[in-house]
């Protein structure tokens, strides 16, 4: 059984590598606002790297709350005072009675024929301005 697992590992890695190779890595800073908006609307998942960046950012309280519970609530274009030309991931950390929300600027997208993902996030902001707007998409 162990030998079968060892033989299957290279095949699985090759399959994952070829799927990743089909993805294009797009830096949001090099895209027109309309392209960023279109990609933001198409996001289907958040890659592990971006999740780890979100969890490890911030102060001790955010990191502690992130270890208790971490939920990506949605992806939306910025609402003032955030930059309306940028895409943000809205995340919540901690249990309901003491949670904190943040908006993370999307720096890079990974785009393949069947999926658009957030690959890398940048700076974090208080998510309250986005959540208070009636037009925000969650």
| SS3 (DSSP) at 136 | coil
Measured CA to CA in angstroms, residue 106 lies from 32, 95, 97 at distances of 14, 25, 28
| SS3 (DSSP) at 39 | helix
| C-alpha span between 11 and 15 (Å, rounded) | 6
| C-alpha span between 113 and 87 (Å, rounded) | 20
69-123 pLDDT, tens digit per residue, is 999 999 999 988 899 999 999 999 999 899 999 999 999 999 999 999 999 999 9
The average confidence (pLDDT) of the chain is 83
The domains of the chain are located at 25-132
pLDDT of residue 104: 96
């Amino acid at each position: 059984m162990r030998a079968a697992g060892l033989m299957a590992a290279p095949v699985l890695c090759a399959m994952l590598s070829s799927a990743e190779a089909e993805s294009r890595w797009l830096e949001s800073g090099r895209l027109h606002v309309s392209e960023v908006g279109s990609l933001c609307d198409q996001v289907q998942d958040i890659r592990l790297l971006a999740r780890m960046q979100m969890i490890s950012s911030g102060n001790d309280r955010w990191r502690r709350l992130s270890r208790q519970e971490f939920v990506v609530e949605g992806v939306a274009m910025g609402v003032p005072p955030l930059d309306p030309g940028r895409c943000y991931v809205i995340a919540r950390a901690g249990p309901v009675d003491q949670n904190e929300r943040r908006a993370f600027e999307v720096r890079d997208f990974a785009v393949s024929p069947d999926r658009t993902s957030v690959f890398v996030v940048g700076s974090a902001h208080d998510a309250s301005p986005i959540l208070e707007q009636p037009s925000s998409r969650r």
